[in-house]
Amino acid sequence: AHEGVDTEARNDLSCGAWEFDRGGPRRLLTDPVPPFVPNVTRGLRFSPDGRLLATADEDGVRLWDRHRGRRLAFLPTRGAVRSVLFSADGSSLYCSSGSDGQKGSITRWAIETTHTELEVGEPERLEEPDWHALKGIALTPDEQALIVTGPGKQFPQRLDLKEGGAT
């Protein structure tokens, strides 16, 4: 969680956020989804500046305005999103996705924010043919590679971002 904020992923198509440092009321982030579309939030991550909250959902990534409590963008993915993270400067958003028995993938979006606008670039897919049901991802401290976790003995693996290959 971001400093002074705690979050909760829920199964009722919402995400709760509490502002402890301000003693403010709980804010409920809601996204109207038809009841026949199941959605499970599997992970949460704040942007480095604390303005955005990314949720890893069953059908994609949602970007939220933390201060207004409203959804700013929906980024569809192939498969359930397992993990989300921002680069240290907030200019990139990564997610791992895939379900059991389904080819997993890692997606990167360029993110640009101003005081009033959010621009999200086209998705860049970084994937390996033998990766299934990816779980977690983490950037190395130099941000030159991702460490990817998943089931099986082949994990964790390092995915070099410059070459796009796993080692």
Give 21-60 pLDDT, tens digit per residue: 455 555 556 555 444 345 677 888 999 999 999 988 888 9
- What is residue 109's predicted lDDT score, i.e. its pLDDT? 96
E strand intervals along 13-120: 14-19, 27-30, 41-46, 52-57, 60-65, 70-76, 81-86, 92-97, 105-113, 118-120
Distance in angstroms (rounded) separating the CA atoms of residues 64 and 119: 13
- What is residue 24's predicted lDDT score, i.e. its pLDDT? 56
Give the DSSP H or E segment for 165: strand 165-166
Best CA proximity match to 104, nearest among 57, 151, 167: 151
Give 122-158 pLDDT, tens digit per residue: 999 886 656 776 788 999 999 999 998 877 777 788 8
Distance in angstroms (rounded) separating the CA atoms of residues 131 and 91: 26
- What is residue 86's predicted lDDT score, i.e. its pLDDT? 97
Contacts 24+ apart (CB under 8 A), 160-166: 161/126, 164/126, 166/128
Distance in angstroms (rounded) separating the CA atoms of residues 159 and 167: 6
> Among 4-13, 41-50, 67-76, which is the least confidently predicted range?
4-13
